Structure 1
Amino acid sequence: MKVAGFGFRKDVTLASLRDALLAAGGPEGLGAVATVSDKADAEALKQLALECGVPIKAVPADRLAKVDTPTQSTIVAEKFGTGSVAEAAAIAAAGPRARLIATRVVSQDRTATAAIAEGDGA
């Protein structure tokens, strides 16, 4: 399963999420989008999932903290215990033996990040 993981600010827009997704490789072949549980109900993410025709996978913050990521943000690490919410969410939601196929990229307005992973599904 191919999953796009997202990290974003509270005021993120659909356009910002879409921009980050396109920079990461686009929606083709996605089976789901994912983010940390407390942001999974964000309206912009719901709109993006609907636009892509995929479900949203909510990943608990404690599960994200167990995921090593190739990119590191000090601020994210202090808050979530992982270097990238986008990368960790993509990896965690893609299932066993997941691997990143696109590391974290940032939207032009800097309010959203996206990464894409492939795995066996969860």
Structure 2
Amino acid sequence: MIVAGLGFSSTATADSLRAAFDRACDGHTVDAVATVVDKTGHAALAEFVETTTLPLHFVAPEDLAAQRTLTCSLRSRATHGTGSVAEASALAVAGSGARLLSPRQISDDRLATCAVAIGGQT
């Protein structure tokens, strides 16, 4: 399974998410979207996911912290215990042996990030 992980600020818009997603997913066919569970109910996320028609998975904070990321945001580390919510979410949902196809990409407005991972069992 190929998963696009999203990280974003509370002020991100659906356009912010789309920009990061498009940048990270360039050339990859994605099967699902993932993010940290505390983003449940965020209006921009709901709007974005509706346009993709991809299933949305929420990741528990402890599952984020268990993932090794390539990039590191100090804010992400302080808030969620991981260097990149986008990378960690993608890796966690992609499953055992997952690896990143695209490290964290940042939207032009710097409000959203996206990374793509592929599961090791595919």
Q: TM-score, normalised by structure 1?
A: 0.92
CA shift for structure 1 position 57 = 0.3
Residue 43 of structure 1 pairs with residue 48 of structure 2: no
| SS of aligned partner of 1:116 | strand
With over 3 angstroms needed to count, the CA separation of the structure-2 counterparts of 1:120 and 1:113, relative to structure 1, is same
Distance 1:73 1:117 in 2: 18
Q: Which moved more, 1:49-58 or 1:19-28?
A: 19-28
Partners of 1:27 and 1:52 within 8 A in 2? no
Contact 1:37 1:60 in 2 (8 A): yes
Query: TM-score, normalised on structure 2?
Result: 0.92
Q: Structure 1, unaligned stretches of length 5 or more?
A: none
Identical amino acids, percent of aligned pairs: 43
Q: Write out per-residue CA displacement over residues 82-108 of structure 1, whole angstroms, 9 at most, x where no aligned residue.
A: 100000000001111111000001100
Cα RMSD for the two superposed structures: 1.6
Write out the 4+ residue segments of structure 1 that deviate beyond 6 Å after TM superposition: none
- Using the alignment, how far apart are the partners of 1:80 and 1:96 within structure 2? 21
Q: Alpha-carbon deviation of 1:30?
A: 1.4
SS at match of 2:113: strand
What is the alpha-carbon distance in structure 2 between the residues aligned to residue 117 and residue 102 of structure 1? 7
Change (3 A) 1:53 1:120: farther
Work out the CA distance in 2 between the residues paired with 1:91 and 1:61: 13
The alignment status of 1:86 with 2:92, answered yes or no, reads no
After superposition, give the CA deviation of every residue in 1:36-86 in whole Å (9 maximum; x if it has no partner): 001032222122222111111000011101111010112211221110000
Cα distance change, pair 16–27 in 1 and its aligned pair in 2 (3 A): farther
Deviation at residue 27 of structure 1 after TM alignment: 8.3
